[in-house]
Amino acid sequence: MSKLLFIIIGFILIFILFYRQYLLKKMNEELNEKIKIEIKKNEEKTRISIQQSRMASMGEMLENIAHQWRQPLSTISVAASGIEIKKELNILNDEELSDSLKHIKNATQYLSNTIDDFRNFFVKDKIPSNINIRNTLNKTIDLMSSTLAKEEITLIRNIQNINFTSYENELIQVLMNIFINAKDALANRKSEKLIIVVIKQIEDNLVIKIKDNAGGVDSSIIDKIFEPYFTTKHQFNGTGIGLYMSKLIVEKHLIGEISVKNIDFIFNSKTYRGALFELVLPLNITNNK
Ligand SMILES: Nc1ncnc2c1ncn2[C@@H]1O[C@H](COP(=O)(O)OP(=O)(O)O)[C@@H](O)[C@H]1O
Ligand SMILES: [Mg+2]
């Protein structure tokens, strides 16, 4: 009798053990499923952020391109009307015709080049390439030149001639974000708006320092500015994604670091205060992988 009881209890215990195991397994599976869903949601959020940030810089660039296009478009139009009128009046000579056509060809070439620059920017680099930092900075500034001129911002450069290996388009995107932010911050200043760029090689790194004289980032929020959706700007001016994306690109793709601090500095014997963004990038990205 007691033997039977013993066996029954034994069975019950084994059953409980298996059932527990089964429950644990099930809970684990459910948890895994939940984690997967969360990861998916997060990926989707990041994807949307990347998209939004690209759209924001695209808007900025379109404005610049529209501005850059005005001159060559008017050259084409003036040259074409000139030919037309002279032909009607029968006073068009061969030399003038070929001259005007040359102007038209040059202007169209220029338009076509700006389209290429613009399109290249939106194609993600697949492999790192050899780049020259002066060239990269010039490309970035070209994409923003009319914005800087319109806002009457003086850009000062002190740049070593350095060649290195990295993802150029992604670096341009980061630089643009920093410049656009500096431009936004400088909108509060009435005059003497400065952006100062200093680029040096320090050991195996390229160090890019970009500062402005807009007064700096409020100390109560400076720790938050790289967070997603953090913005102090008005609903339609700020998305809070620019610096978040920049940090992501710098750390994950360019294998570097980005940081910010406020500094006081002297320029042309005047003292100013502003934000200083510092990028530290490896000279050869492939060595760091
Ligand atoms: N150069 C700067 N000077 C002062 N504040 C800055 C500067 N750059 C960034 N910031 C602050 O960091 C915040 C986040 O920037 P960002 O991520 O680019 O988002 P957004 O530009 O859409 O606001 C800005 O809203 C601003 O408060
Ligand atoms: Mg921004």
The domains of the chain are located at: 1-123, 128-288
DSSP assignments along 169-204, one per residue: HHHHHHHHHHHHHHHHHHTT-SS-EEEEEEEEEETT
Does residue 276 come out as left (phi exceeding 0), alpha (psi in the -120 to 50 range) or beta?
Answer: beta
Sign of CA dihedral 275, 280, 283, 284: negative
Determine which residue's CA is closest to atom 18 belonging to ligand 1.
242
Which one-letter DSSP state was computed for residue 90? Answer: T
Residues 177-235 have pLDDT tens digits of 999 999 999 998 998 999 999 999 999 999 999 999 999 999 999 999 998 778 898 76
Q: Is 240 in the pocket of ligand 1 (CB under 6 A)?
A: yes
pLDDT over 60 at 289, yes or no: no
**pLDDT tens digits along 24-69:** 999 999 999 999 999 998 888 877 777 777 776 677 777 777 777 8
Across the range 11-26, mean pLDDT stands at 93
Give the per-residue pLDDT at 287: 56
Q: Report the atom number in ligand 1 closest to the C-alpha of 238.
A: 22
Residue 186 Cα to ligand 1 midpoint, Å, equals: 11
Task: State whether the beta carbon of 185 lies less than 6 angstroms from ligand 1.
Answer: yes
For the Cβ of 182 lying below 6 angstroms from any atom of ligand 1, the answer is yes
Provide the CATH number for the domain formed by 128-288 in this structure.
Answer: 3.30.565.10
67: nearest Cα among 122, 136, 123, 149:
149
β-strand pairing of 193-202 with 153-159: parallel
Is the CB of 210 within 6 Å of ligand 1? no
Choosing among 1.10.287.130, 1.10.10.1100, 3.30.300.210, 3.40.640.10, the CATH entry for 1-123 is 1.10.287.130
Distance CA 107, CA 101 (A): 10
Give the Å distance between the CA of 140 and the centre of ligand 1. 19
Is the shortest distance between the CB of 181 and ligand 1 below 6 Å? Answer: yes
Q: Is 231 in the pocket of ligand 1 (CB under 6 A)?
A: yes
Q: Is the CB of 174 under 6 A from ligand 1?
A: no
Q: What average pLDDT does this structure show over 10-31?
A: 93
Ligand 2 centroid to residue 231 C-alpha, Å? 8
Of the candidates 56, 54, 66, which has an alpha carbon nearest to the alpha carbon of residue 146?
A: 66
